[in-house]
Amino acid sequence: DSGVTQTPKHLITATGQRVTLRCSPRSGDLSVYWYQQSLDQGLQFLIQYYNGEERAKGNILERFSAQQFPDLHSELNLSSLELGDSALYFCASTPGGRMGGYTFGSGTRLTVV
Amino acid sequence: DQQVKQNSPSLSVQEGRISILNCDYTNSMFDYFLWYKKYPAEGPTFLISISSIKDKNEDGRFTVFLNKSAKHLSLHIVPSQPGDSAVYFCAASGRYGGSQGNLIFGKGTKLSVKP
């Protein structure tokens, strides 16, 4: 157990639907990052939050949004889902600052049918 | 445009031999590099890192080498063990520039260590 908890582990939904992925960071970590891993692709950075504030944005589609709550857990909202959104979505956390390794959760596997 | 490239999708090595995984990067603003290991159905786990002020960092069986002039780094595993079989991701971070300190990952290399 890495200390980063992601729920649900698996999600199957239809095109056009909306889903919410949840991440609880490791205790004490202020930064949360979301990454997407599609088939045969590396981990693509989506968005970062630090202590409730959006810190950086990567290749995140407009149909996707995220937030970090006062208790530091984060949610990634994916709407108007398309087949191509099927992927593994990872959340990672760090205490803050950029140095050091991220601690990743085990991911949510999203399948859009 | 891929800023971090792992050109070998897979590598097969005999147990006890050396495994060498390679990674190239294009952004000269990157100054911190990491390797992650990923087993199926798990998230990536941090393995080893190196700052651009160094050219080598060692941790047990794992050594990372950095050649800044060639924008190339490599991970050496000696001796390789069957439990090392996993996907290895190279990642880079820069204090300035587009990465904004976030990690940029390569596509990974799947290492298979045969008994």
Which residue in A4, A48, A99 is closest to B32 by CB distance?
A99
Is the CB of residue A43 less than 8 Å away from at least one CB of chain B? yes
Which of A97-101, B8-12, B86-90 is the least confident region? A97-101
Query: What is the per-residue pLDDT across A36-82, written as a single tens digit (0 to 9) for each?
Result: 998 777 889 999 998 999 988 888 999 999 999 999 999 999 999 99
Could you tell me if A105 and A7 are in contact, meaning their C-beta atoms sit under 8 angstroms apart?
no
Q: How many helices (H) and strands (E) does chain A have?
A: 0, 11
Residues of A in contact with B49 (CB under 8 A): 100-101
User: Which residue, B21, B51, B6, is CA-closest to A101?
Assistant: B51
The residue type of A106 is S
Nearest residue of B to residue A33, measured between CA atoms: B102
Which of A54-63, B18-27, B99-108 is the least confident region? B99-108
Which residue in B46, B101, B108 is closest to A101 by CB distance?
B46
Nearest residue of B to residue A32, measured between CA atoms: B102
- In Å, how far are B27, B30, B32, B35, B48 from B53, measured between CA atoms? 16, 11, 9, 17, 15
* Number of CB pairs, chain A paired with chain B, less than 8 A apart: 59
Q: Which helix (H) or strand (E) holds A53?
A: strand A53-57
Residues in chain A: 113
Listed in sequence order, the residues at least 6 apart from A43 whose beta carbon sits closer than 8 Å to its beta carbon are: A35, A36, A37, A90, B44, B89, B91, B103, B105
